[in-house]
Amino acid sequence: MSRPAWRDRIAEARAQREADSRVRVRRIVSHRDGARCIVEGRSLLNFCGNDYLGLSQHFAVVGALQDAASREGAGGVGSHLVCGHHQLHDTLERELADWLGAPRALLFGSGYLANLAVLQSLLGDEDVCVEDRLNHASLIDAARMAGCRLRRYPHGDAEGAIRQLRSMPEGMALLATDGVFSMDGDIAPLRELALVARVQKALLYVDDAHGVGVVGPDGRGSVAASKLGVNDVPLQLATLGKALGGYGAAVLGEADLIGHLAETARPYLYTTALPPAQAAATLAAVKLARTEHWRRNKLDELVGRFRERAQRAGLALMDSQTPIQPVLCGDDASALALAGALEQAGYWVAAIRPPTVPEGRARLRVTLSALHGVADVDGLVDAMAKARDRARLGLPAAGSRETVVTR
């Protein structure tokens, strides 16, 4: 028998990651205070989290969590369809549906689970899922696990999407895209994609994990920002762990579709419900996100400030007007070197490397939060420019995006 030994397999894979500067290391955060973190004994200003509205530590959100936990306990105790569906879950689903203008919402443990649930419950072997090449990994994995035919189109290319749909005329078709792309920060051409879906009789599904709370009227996300509704986008995803500062996700859309997911989606049927206390915390966060418009206004000002100063400093930005501001570095080693220099200066910015992004497109993924101040942004840009100059890194200009990525 010539079966390979598992120890040899993982040792070879590790050696290859080391050679490619692609080793991933967990960092231990011992305390968070606003935008600052204590990371392995050092205080760093965090520019790599997704707490866009600064709600994760808000006193009303934390208070709701503590109060509900004291009354209802720490866990969800069972799946939603057995004994885990609490009144707080129901209230949160109704609040989310009302905010985002959908007939119904369904809670999930994470955005990853929600994407698996949608595609696996709707698509089979004879169906097709057409996706943007830069979609989140969970959408790619969901299509592969559903067993359907997966077709991908060039990033943001609605004409590419219609070509892929036309090439697969049989079976049900689902067109899936991120709303705000997590690594580039740009927004999908949703109006064009909605037209494509209508013409091709495909179901349009938008993963708006990084849009809800941040863009659109009252923070209702990229679908609302594109002036679309449930008739155009029958299903959309909102995560609860980014702009809302908590954990979990919700799929929102037409009542019949949501009912189908609730009765058939394996990632919903066979997992424990979110703790009711977490639902209470998110409910408080949603109410703040809906009413405290100054948080989005401040974010817009910080994004503009960052982009103006970064461009003046000659940093290679991408076309993003959201709190996700990638700074291109080119090769993996340059991205790691720049991230390390920034950490020494007191700033925590993640180096993002393939396969998360295309080959040759390693970057620093700067994320802004309403917790940051103008001085924080100015200091970061100055530190980035100085680190680049000291290392003499030849950072690339922002050119056309790659259209092939493995996730």
- Whether 85 has a binding-site annotation, put simply, is no
Nearest to 326 by CA among 279, 288, 364: 364
Burial class of residue 159, CB neighbours in 10 A (0-12, 13-18, 19+): exposed
Distance, in Å, from the CA atom of 52 to the CA atom of 42, rounded to the nearest integer, reads 23
Q: Is 260 a catalytic residue?
A: no
String of DSSP letters for 50-93: --TTS-TT-HHHHHHHHHHHHHH-SS--S-IIIII--HHHHHHH
Out of 80, 89, 210, 372, the active site residue is: 210
Q: Got the DSSP string for 342-353?
A: HHHTTEE-EEE-
Q: Is 167 annotated as a binding residue?
A: no
What would the two tokens of residue 283 be? 């409910």
- Alpha carbon 322 to chain centroid distance? 12
Residues β-bridged to residue 313: none
Catalytic residue among 242, 298, 320, 334: 242
Is 322 one of the annotated binding-site residues? no
Beta bridge partners of 363: 328, 352
**Over the Cα atoms of the chain, what is R_g?**
21
> Is residue 177 part of an annotated ligand binding site?
no
252 and 100 Cβ atoms separated by less than 8 Å: yes
- 210 classed as catalytic: yes
Known catalytic membership, residue 70? no
Parallel, antiparallel or unpaired: strands 128-132 and 149-153: parallel
Peptide linkage before 154 cis (omega within 30 of 0): no
**Helices and strands counted in the chain (H then E):** 14, 14
- Which of 339, 322, 323, 319 is closest to 395 using CA atoms? 339
> Which of the 8 DSSP states describes residue 402?
P
From the list 56, 110, 138, 182, the catalytic residue is 182
58 assigned binding-site residue:
no
Confirm or deny that 80 is annotated as ligand binding. Answer: no
Residues β-bridged to residue 251: 106, 237
Q: Which of the residues are catalytic?
A: 182, 210, 242
Residues flagged as binding site:
24, 111-112, 136, 182, 210, 239, 356
Residues flagged as binding site for substrate:
24, 136, 356
Residues flagged as binding site for pyridoxal 5'-phosphate:
111-112, 182, 210, 239
